[in-house]
Amino acid sequence: MRLRLTLVIVVMLFGASSSLAQEVGDEKEPELRAELMRLVKDDQKIRGEFNKFRREHGLFGIDNKSANEKLDSDPELKKEFLALANRMAEFDDGRLVRMREIIAKYGWPGRGLVGSEAATAAYLIVSHAVRDVPFQRLALEAMKKLPPCEVENTQFASLTDRVLLAEGKKQLYGTMFFVKPDGLLAPNPIEDEANVDKRRAELGLQPLAEYIRRSNKAILGKQ
């Protein structure tokens, strides 16, 4: 079976929100905060290994077509890649089980409950649950129930777009990108694109064209 890569770029835009960060120690559930931080540490560790492998084998920063062609031309490389990707997916599934339990008990773990860092950890774990879109939708709906000060605007926008695209719809905020054949970024399809900057401004995000320009400038600077 031919491998199909899904290398989705999550544009976080941290720092664009006008909401204040929760200080560590103010959270209502310190034990849950500590658990989320442990979970995200594991999440980032396996992703670090995966990205290191991609960089070492020329699979990082290229479009899906080129990556698949490279893997198909080297069966041993493809075998190693799939083994690592499958291990990452298995670990993600394990964390997903626990996140289901947490959201069922507490709702979305926002800043007031677990603090800013752990709320971000919860977002990262849920955003990586790509094999269970209904759960991502459930998590997004739980996020919507909280006051704006409880949720980072960039995280709300990113999870919204991620879920919409996974459901076969167009994104609203333009936070999800793909890599073009030339190595630069371009946004996935956007609903009512003429008003995307209006929606972004409501969340304190900079205009989409400016962010694309800066992102691609940074990429060109590294080439």
Q: 142-181, pLDDT tens digit by residue?
A: 999 999 899 999 999 999 999 999 999 999 999 999 988 8
Domain assignment present for 23: no
Q: Distance of alpha carbon 111 from its chain centroid, rounded?
A: 19
Residue 19 lies in a domain: no
- Fill in the amino acid letter for 150: E
For residues 213 and 18, the model is more confident at 213
Q: What is the pTM of this model?
A: 0.82
Per the model's pLDDT, the better-predicted residue between 183 and 79 turns out to be 79
Task: Tell me whether residue 20 is in a domain.
Answer: no
pLDDT-above-70 percentage for the chain: 87
Joined together, the tokens standing for residue 105 give 């008990």
In a domain, 83, yes or no: yes
Q: What is the pLDDT of residues 7-45, one digit of tens each?
A: 443 333 333 333 333 445 567 999 999 999 999 999 999
Whether 70 is covered by a domain: the verdict is yes
Whether residue 211 is contained in a domain is answered as yes
Q: What is the DSSP letter of 23?
A: P
Our CA dihedral for 212, 213, 217, 219, rounded to 10 degrees, sits at 10
pLDDT category, 137, cuts 50, 70, 90? Answer: very high
Which residue range is the domain that position 89 belongs to? Answer: 9-13+28-222
Distance CA 182, CA 114 (A): 41
The number of domains in the chain is: 1
Q: Is residue 184 part of a domain?
A: yes
d(C-alpha 59, C-alpha 71), whole Å: 9
Closest to 25 measured CA to CA, from 112, 145, 136: 112
C-alpha pair distances (Å), 133 with each of 126, 162, 181: 10, 9, 28
Q: What confidence score (pLDDT) does residue 65 get?
A: 87
